[in-house]
């Protein structure tokens, strides 16, 4: 099966597919996100004169800080919803596809990734000892909030890059070289952070680009955003809620890796294995969804 189902998501975008409209929509998304984020930071400062809460939000290495940071991705989702109404003559629901199918695709994709992760955990020995993160009881108590926050973060990113940008570009350009590569490249560049990853930052961008291509392919094959959202959600649950690098976005993890994300010698073998995991996850989802 190819990309025949993608047409169902592309069709509502055709009426407002002019490049200037999509460019303006991307700018609107960035502006709405930046404005809302500044207002949120101002609110934190107003509520917390000592700036302790802001420090937790900035460093994202505590449960509160990580939850706050993840929750702000809801602001990112607002831009495409507004752009659909003002610029593209389409309902925001068309960014997701048929709701029933999207929900089913999400559940099957997330299950496939979780099963794969569990199998790899059992079969592939971990060459280093993990360090404790949150205490198990506290981790379990926070798990519902963790799940919701990661769903907001991953859902917002998929809505912007696959739901909005991919379908708008596909309505204007027939070639996947445009509507797969450009959103994936922007998605990857958004994860470029030398402060966090050091010399590993370009490789993190490459890994994120590979993930974006896989998510774009799944969206085109299924005709809904559900598979990409399930893929992204399950992937980030493993990376943020179960085993995380110490430092940024580590505040909700049960276990921590014994090295930082900027340590080249330790991270490189893990990065190469992550490329393989992305490919295996993409394949597992395709098998689960029969696409």
Residue 8 has pLDDT above 90, yes or no: yes
The answer to whether the CB of 251 falls within 8 A of the CB of 65 is: yes
pLDDT at 241: 98
pLDDT tens-digit series, residues 132-184: 999 999 999 999 999 999 999 999 999 999 999 999 999 999 999 999 999 99
pLDDT at res. 103: 98
Model confidence band, residue 97 (pLDDT cutoffs 50, 70, 90): very high
Closest CA to 76 of 107, 34, 105, 45: 34
Using a cut of 0.75, tell me whether the model's pTM lies above it. Answer: yes
Strand pairing partners for 243? 255
Say if CB 258 and CB 130 are below 8 A apart.
yes
19-71 residue pLDDT tens = 999 999 999 999 999 999 999 999 998 887 678 888 899 899 999 999 999 99
Both tokens of residue 17?
A: 């597919």
Task: Measure the CA–CA gap between 158 and 164, rounded to whole angstroms.
Answer: 8
């Amino acid at each position: 099966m190819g990309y025949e189902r993608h047409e169902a998501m592309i069709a509502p975008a055709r009426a407002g597919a002019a490049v200037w409209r999509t460019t303006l929509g991307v700018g609107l998304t960035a502006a709405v996100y930046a404005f809302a984020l500044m207002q949120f930071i101002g609110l934190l400062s107003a509520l917390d004169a000592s700036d302790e809460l802001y420090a937790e939000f900035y460093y994202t290495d505590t449960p509160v800080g990580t939850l706050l940071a993840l929750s702000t991705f809801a602001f990112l989702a607002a831009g495409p919803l507004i752009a659909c109404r003002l610029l593209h003559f389409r309902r925001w629901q068309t960014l997701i596809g048929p709701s029933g199918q999207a929900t089913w695709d999400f559940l099957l994709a997330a299950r496939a990734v979780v099963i794969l992760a569990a199998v790899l955990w059992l079969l592939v020995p971990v060459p280093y000892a993990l360090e404790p993160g949150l205490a198990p009881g506290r981790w379990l108590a926070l798990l519902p909030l963790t799940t919701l926050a990661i769903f907001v973060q991953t859902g917002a990113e998929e809505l912007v890059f696959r739901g909005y940008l991919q379908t708008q570009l596909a309505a204007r350009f027939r070639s996947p070289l445009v509507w797969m590569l450009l959103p994936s490249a922007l998605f990857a560049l958004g994860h470029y952070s030398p402060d966090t990853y050091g010399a590993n930052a370009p490789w993190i961008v490459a890994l994120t680009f590979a993930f974006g291509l896989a998510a774009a392919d799944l969206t085109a094959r299924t005709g809904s955003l559900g598979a990409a959202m399930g893929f992204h959600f399950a992937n980030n649950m493993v990376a943020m809620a179960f085993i995380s690098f110490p430092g940024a976005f580590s505040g909700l993890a049960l276990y921590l890796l014994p090295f930082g994300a900027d340590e080249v010698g330790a991270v490189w073998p893990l990065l190469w294995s992550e490329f393989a995991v992305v490919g295996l996850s993409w394949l597992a989802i395709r098998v689960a969804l029969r696409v």
